Amino acid sequence: MGVRLARLMMTQHQASGHRPELRSYEDSAVGNQNGKSASAFPLSAIHAPVRAVERVRPLHDPDQRRKYRTIWISDIHLGTKGCNAELLIDFLDNVDSETMYLVGDIIDGWRLRKKFYWPAAHNDIVWRILKRARRGTRIIYIPGNHDEMFRQFSGLNFGGVEIRRTAFHTTADGRRLMVLHGDEFDAVMLAHRWLAYVGDAAYTILMGLNRYVNAVRSRLGLSYWSLSKMAKHKVKNAVEFISRYEEVVSRAAAGRGVDGVVCGHIHTAEMAEFNGVAYYNDGDWVEGCTALVEHFDGRMEVLHWPEEMARREEARDRRAAIQVAA
């Protein structure tokens, strides 16, 4: 299944009219720098997705990135319109780590099976992650329920990416954390799979609305705002569900004798403690756009990327204003 999906992605990529764009990029680059004609350059020898990475945005200097000991991200849902690829690309271009955990639902196989959707930006994310592995970042991928087709490869290594069902992480201050996607605890999903699909449909509608609201907001010059994040916090049932989920996961972690647990799945970033067990959720890249990070002293933090971006823009505006004044 995984191989078929990968092949399908490649085919789609090549058929999407990407080549002419890439060629024109190549033409100008080769022509300007070497004075050679483009036809002398063996374009077909170049792997198209690699060029796509460099085409979208100039490469950032890895040394300039904010560095953490560990990064956890999950619920990216590549292959869906809900995936906030722009924000994630910005995150990956500005933040680096020694170890990176991909905590599941990275690729949405459920949705891809129904309707194929794979824009160039989604390839850019895959290639940025693989490039990190090549540069020496340890990458551990724990497939979730939406990318469960990769679970059969648990224990294997692909291009420097280790695939695991569950992982154990030791923090700089010596705490042992269990890392898993988290659908294992979702009683609703196990008992009534159809209910999860109904929830999925409602979620898709909400995400569509979220996209629309934010398109309007960005046209008005307003920052990104999460509709369902607000909706979730307003709806009592959802709040109850989330807190029950957090307790169930923490109790299971206590049973395994670890100091804490890191998961994703419910798209709600959180740092909490239940009966002496730390509960961390790295959130998602559909609505909240959050990551969990470990500092070099073992301190944990949730990064809310839309806010980080807004802060950066503000600082840039301030610098520009100072320059104008001077």
| Site of interaction with Mn ion (CB under 5 A) | 105, 144-145, 183, 265
Cβ-based neighbours of 318, under 8 Å, separated by 6 or more: none
Residue labelled with tokens 């730390």: 278
Cβ-based neighbours of 305, under 8 Å, separated by 6 or more: 87, 88, 90, 91, 289, 290, 291
Question: What 8-state DSSP symbol labels residue 201?
Answer: H
Q: Least Å distance between CB 241 and Mn ion?
A: 14
Nearer to Mn ion, 52 or 252 (CB): 252
* Residue 114: exposure state from Cβ atoms within 10 A (0-12, 13-18, ≥19): exposed
From residue 286, give the alpha-carbon distance in Å to each of 132, 147, 244, 265.
22, 15, 22, 12
Nearer to Mn ion, 164 or 265 (CB): 265
Q: Least Å distance between CB 292 and Mn ion?
A: 16
Q: Least Å distance between CB 272 and Mn ion?
A: 19
Q: Least Å distance between CB 154 and Mn ion?
A: 16
Q: Least Å distance between CB 303 and Mn ion?
A: 20
Residue 242 identity: I
In this structure, the strands spanning 176-179 and 167-170 are antiparallel
Q: Least Å distance between CB 104 and Mn ion?
A: 6
Nearer to Mn ion, 105 or 287 (CB): 105
Q: Least Å distance between CB 264 and Mn ion?
A: 7
Nearer to Mn ion, 49 or 109 (CB): 109
* Residue 296: exposure state from Cβ atoms within 10 A (0-12, 13-18, ≥19): exposed
Nearer to Mn ion, 96 or 284 (CB): 284
Nearer to Mn ion, 53 or 103 (CB): 103
From residue 322, give the alpha-carbon distance in Å to each of 88, 146, 309, 311, 317.
30, 48, 20, 17, 9
Nearer to Mn ion, 49 or 79 (CB): 79
Q: Report the alpha-carbon distance of residue 66 to residue 293 in Å, rounded.
A: 11
